[in-house]
Amino acid sequence: MDGQTVVVTGASRGIGRAVALELATAGAHVVLCARDRAGLEATADTIEEQGGSVTYKRADVRDEFDVEYLMEKAATVGGEIDGVVANAGVYHGDAGNTPLDTESYSAFDDHIQTNARGVFVTLREAIPHLSDDARLLVTSGTVARKTASGYGSYAVSKAAAEAVARGFAADSDYEVCVVDPGVVETSLTGATGHDPDTVAEQFRWALEEAPSEYFDGSVIDRRTFRTESR
C-alpha cells in the first residue's frame, strides 16, 4: 500500500485502531479521526514508533464540518484519498441487553446520528477528494441483517449504515462495500469475540485485493474473506 492514503474513522480503539496499525504497517499513509483525543493520539504515537506514516485530527462524524475538514486535510497531506474505512460507531448500553421496545429516545437518536448518518457524512465528504480507483468500506455486523433480540436501535443503525453503503455504490462512481468481521472484542460488544488485531487483515484485503464484484454495496464477511483470500 506504499504511497496510498487511507482515512480511518473511529481509530482511537478497537477495530479502527487495529485497522490503522495494519494499514500503516503495509505502507499506507493513514489519516485518523475519533472523538477520544487521548486514544487517537495513542494510536498515532504507536504508528510513528513503528515507523509508519500518520496524520490525525480529533473529529466527530456526527458533525459534517469536522469531517469536511478531515477529508480536506487528508488530501492536502497525502494527496488524493485511495481508501476510506467508515468505522466510527457507538453502542449505548450493554451489548444484547438493549431491547428496542424499552430503549430511550436519546439512545436511538445517537445510534442513528453516529452509526448511520456518520457513515453518510464520512462517504459524502470523502467523494470530492477520492482517487479514481478509491475503495470505500463500511464496518457492520450480522445484527444489521438478521433478527437478534436485545440489540435495539444499534441494530437499526447498522442496517441503515449498510443501506447507505448500497446507495453510494449505486449512485457514485466508486467501489463501496460493507465489511463484517464477525463479533470482535471491543467495548461495544462487551469485550467478547475475536481480537481486533486478528480482523484487521480482512479490511486490508478488502482495500487491496478483494474482487470488484463485492463492491456494489455487498457484504464481505469473515467467511467470504477466508474463502476468497486463500
State the catalytic residues.
140, 154, 158
Backbone angles phi, psi at 206, to 5 degrees: -65, -40
Provide the residue type at 88 as one letter.
Answer: A
Query: In 3-state terms, what secondary structure has residue 61?
Result: coil
Does an H or E element contain 130, and which?
strand 130-139
Place of cell 477466508: 226
Residue 106 CB neighbour total at 10 angstroms: 9
Could you tell me which residues are beta bridge partners of residue 139? 179
Q: Which residues contact 228 (CB under 8 A, 6 or more apart)?
A: 210, 211
